[in-house]
Chain A
Amino acid sequence: MTTAWVVVEPSANGWSEAAGELLTLARRVSDDVHLVTWSSSLDAGRAGAFGASSQVVVAHDEDHLVADDVVAGMEDLAAADGHPDIVLFGSSYDGRDIAGRLSVRWGRTVVTNVVDLRATPDGWESEHLVVGGTSVSRTRVSGPALFVVRRKSVTPEECGGSPAAQREVAGASSTVARVRSRVLEVSDGPDLESAPVVVSGGRGLGRAEHYQWVDELAGLLGGAGGASRAIVDAGWVPYSRQVGQTGKTVAPNLYVACGISGATQHLVGMKGSAHIVAINKDPDAPIFQVADLGVVGDVTSVLPQVIALLRERRGA
């Protein structure tokens, strides 16, 4: 029997799509799955329905970095229960930090950007993205290992287990790094990662004020507004809107790219979308290679026209 731990961020709603994805994947490679989270527990009923037999909540002090507490908690847990054969993490910042630190403590290899995983007689075979998501590497790992899994690589499926047993463990008693303050970037409308429609803007919008068209179209389509890194770096919109390699991975039903060139680092975060519309004045922009409908044109004229047409329709 192999034991898997799944490390998942807590969620204000008591559950997250990411938790379902990771537990579904863990179940495929292990017959004894435990969920580890911090601060507040996830819904034990759903955790169980997705196959977790227990849920461990690590006490997390707001002044500490998450990784410092969670690594300490997982060390205690391993001392009590034995080390797991495999640990799966989400691709969040904290997930990557926890995986990195544990890999050194436990002397285990860590594979990141994982999109698929299966068990082999002597270990695991994973598929993970390399070179900015342009290639997929199939890698065999023998012995215990850590895998950091990309969002939306697995379709969550329940298996109908009974509610996960709850446990609590302590975090770090003291840490050197201190969190002094937090800024929350709130945006109204649906969450970027789960929105059915994402409208994103890039440098081609020309000016920060023009991003309001992106917000407006997103609003009209019941979607969320995203961005390329260029305009996040330029300070037009907060980082929480960035789509791509170093931002969020989205896979909506419809993605509308407005004035975005389509650099590989952007594409890796959105090319899983079901339908893609791109507006760009450069006929050779790489974004057109992934677009189902490509419009060669000036986004500062096309976008307001689209908004006007949709508004007209609303009015009618």
Chain B
Amino acid sequence: MKVLACVKPVPDPSAPVRYQENGRLDRTGKVVLDEADSYGVEVALRLAEASGGSVVLGTMSDSSDPAPLRAALAMGAEEALVASDSRLGGADALTTARVLGALVRRSGAEVVVTATESADGYTGTVAAQLAEVLGWPALTFASHVSLEGDHVVVRRQSETGTLEVAAPVPCVISVTAGSVEPRYATFKGIVAAKSRPVTTLTLDELGVVLDEERVHDIVDVRDAPGRAAGEKIVDEGQAAAAIVAYFDALKIL
């Protein structure tokens, strides 16, 4: 079974976030594989291994830095498909899902694995949108994934617990961060990744037509309201009493 893992190069989270004049994220600095995607790649590899298949990576990105894709290829993915087009700058989640859907069709994959949301845009709806674009069931927010014959079975997070949900292949799965332990790339994998094919495709090549009706403009971006740090004390045996005194002052006891 061919499994497509959606991945996204995101600005290095350890560097300060920078924005362009138009409010869009400045992606010209160092980019890394979104940590959340490493879990999806791991789940995709396990599904491929369990079914004697392979993993192809799918991404929509205009980054020329090969490092993030190489990192995922080094884990064991066979190839990568990259949708890249100057018209995709500032694309909303719906356009992203349509473009990724075109990549999935092109790849011939029967199962798609994504993270629940990216670290940057942070929308968290692309998996469900992609499923709808493809007309496949959406097994979203999975903290555990397994294969039973031609069915994918997931443990889905819910507000109050978990559900076990099953759907036949083809389907789209989104996995929560921390659901599996992503494997480390081996030296062999890192070397092999350098020669694995990375194919870049434009919107025309993918046959995706953008609809210009939806206008979605960023007015401005600012830091989320912060909080001022208060008092900080070093415990020398007195801290517990200070905490209790603080509770008293709040009158919650």
Chain A residues near B (Cβ < 8 Å) = 9, 65, 67-68, 92-94, 96-97, 99-101, 103-105, 107-113, 123, 125, 129-143, 148, 175-185, 196-197, 221-222, 229, 232-233, 238-240, 245-246, 253-254, 268, 271, 275-277, 279, 283, 288-298, 301-302, 305-306, 308-310, 313
Q: Which of B56-64, B71-79, B228-236 contacts A (4 or more CB under 8 A)?
A: B228-236
Contact B244 A310 (CB under 8 A): yes
> Which chain A residues border B176 with CB–CB below 8 Å?
246
> Which chain B residues border A232 with CB–CB below 8 Å?
178
Can you list 29 A-B pairs with a CB-CB distance of less than 8 A? A9-B159, A65-B137, A67-B138, A92-B159, A96-B124, A103-B93, A103-B94, A109-B216, A110-B92, A129-B122, A131-B17, A136-B223, A136-B225, A137-B218, A138-B220, A141-B214, A177-B137, A177-B167, A232-B178, A246-B177, A253-B252, A279-B239, A283-B234, A292-B230, A294-B232, A301-B235, A305-B239, A309-B240, A309-B241
Given contacts A96-B125, A180-B165, A182-B162, 16 further A-B contacts (CB under 8 A): A68-B137, A96-B128, A100-B93, A100-B125, A104-B94, A109-B93, A110-B125, A133-B224, A136-B223, A181-B163, A183-B163, A291-B230, A293-B246, A294-B230, A295-B234, A302-B243
Given A93-B140, A110-B123, A179-B165, does the pair A246, B116 have CB atoms closer than 8 Å? yes
Contact B94 A239 (CB under 8 A): no
Q: How long is the Cα–Cα vector from A92 to B156 in the complex, in angstroms?
A: 13
Given A101-B129, A130-B221, A178-B166, does the pair A297, B232 have CB atoms closer than 8 Å? no
Contact A135 B229 (CB under 8 A): no
**Can you name the residue of chain B whose Cβ is closest to the Cβ of A135?**
B221
**Can you name the residue of chain B whose Cβ is closest to the Cβ of A66?**
B158
Contact B233 A93 (CB under 8 A): no
> Which chain A residues border B141 with CB–CB below 8 Å?
93
Given A129-B224, A179-B165, A254-B247, does the pair A137, B23 have CB atoms closer than 8 Å? yes
Contact A141 B215 (CB under 8 A): yes
A261 → chain B, closest Cβ, in Å?
14
A110 → chain B, closest Cβ, in Å?
5
A66 → chain B, closest Cβ, in Å?
9
Q: How long is the Cα–Cα vector from A196 to B92 in the complex, in angstroms?
A: 37
B157 at the interface (CB under 8 A from A): yes
Q: How long is the Cα–Cα vector from A132 to B120 in the complex, in angstroms?
A: 7
Contact B252 A104 (CB under 8 A): no
> Which chain B residues border A185 with CB–CB below 8 Å?
160-162
**Can you name the residue of chain A whose Cβ is closest to the Cβ of B141?**
A93
Minimum-distance CB pairs A-B, first 7: A297-B235, A100-B128, A305-B240, A100-B125, A292-B230, A104-B132, A233-B178
**Can you name the residue of chain A whose Cβ is closest to the Cβ of B19?**
A135
> Which chain A residues border B161 with CB–CB below 8 Å?
182-185, 238, 240
> Which chain A residues border B23 with CB–CB below 8 Å?
137
Which residues between 94 and 145 of chain B lie within 8 Å of chain A, taking CB atoms?
94, 97, 116-117, 119-129, 131-133, 137-141, 143
Given A97-B140, A103-B94, A253-B250, does the pair A295, B227 have CB atoms closer than 8 Å? no
Given A177-B166, A180-B166, does the pair A112, B123 have CB atoms closer than 8 Å? yes
Q: How long is the Cα–Cα vector from A5 to B127 in the complex, in angstroms?
A: 23
**Can you name the residue of chain B whose Cβ is closest to the Cβ of A252?**
B252
Q: How long is the Cα–Cα vector from A222 to B82 in the complex, in angstroms?
A: 52
B87 at the interface (CB under 8 A from A): no
Given A135-B222, A137-B218, A253-B250, does the pair A294, B124 have CB atoms closer than 8 Å? no
Q: How long is the Cα–Cα vector from A170 to B229 in the complex, in angstroms?
A: 52
> Which chain B residues border A113 with CB–CB below 8 Å?
122-124
Contact B221 A138 (CB under 8 A): yes
> Which chain A residues border B17 with CB–CB below 8 Å?
131, 134-135
| Most interface-central of A105, A133, A135, A313 (chain B CB within 10 A) | A135
Contact B128 A197 (CB under 8 A): no
Q: How long is the Cα–Cα vector from A301 to B176 in the complex, in angstroms?
A: 33
> Which chain A residues border B166 with CB–CB below 8 Å?
177-178, 180
B31 → chain A, closest Cβ, in Å?
14
A134 → chain B, closest Cβ, in Å?
6
Given A96-B128, A295-B242, A310-B244, does the pair A275, B219 have CB atoms closer than 8 Å? no
Contact A294 B162 (CB under 8 A): no
Contact B160 A296 (CB under 8 A): no
> Which chain A residues border B153 with CB–CB below 8 Å?
180
Contact A221 B247 (CB under 8 A): yes
A213 → chain B, closest Cβ, in Å?
12
Q: How long is the Cα–Cα vector from A175 to B247 in the complex, in angstroms?
A: 52
Partner of A131 from the list B119, B160, B178, B230 (CB cut-off 8 Å) is B119
Contact B250 A275 (CB under 8 A): yes
Q: How long is the Cα–Cα vector from A313 to B140 in the complex, in angstroms?
A: 48
B217 at the interface (CB under 8 A from A): yes
Q: How long is the Cα–Cα vector from A306 to B158 in the complex, in angstroms?
A: 34
**Can you name the residue of chain B whose Cβ is closest to the Cβ of A229?**
B178
> Which chain A residues border B223 with CB–CB below 8 Å?
134-136
Contact B217 A271 (CB under 8 A): no
Contact B244 A306 (CB under 8 A): yes
Contact A296 B138 (CB under 8 A): no
> Which chain B residues border A104 with CB–CB below 8 Å?
94, 97, 129, 132-133
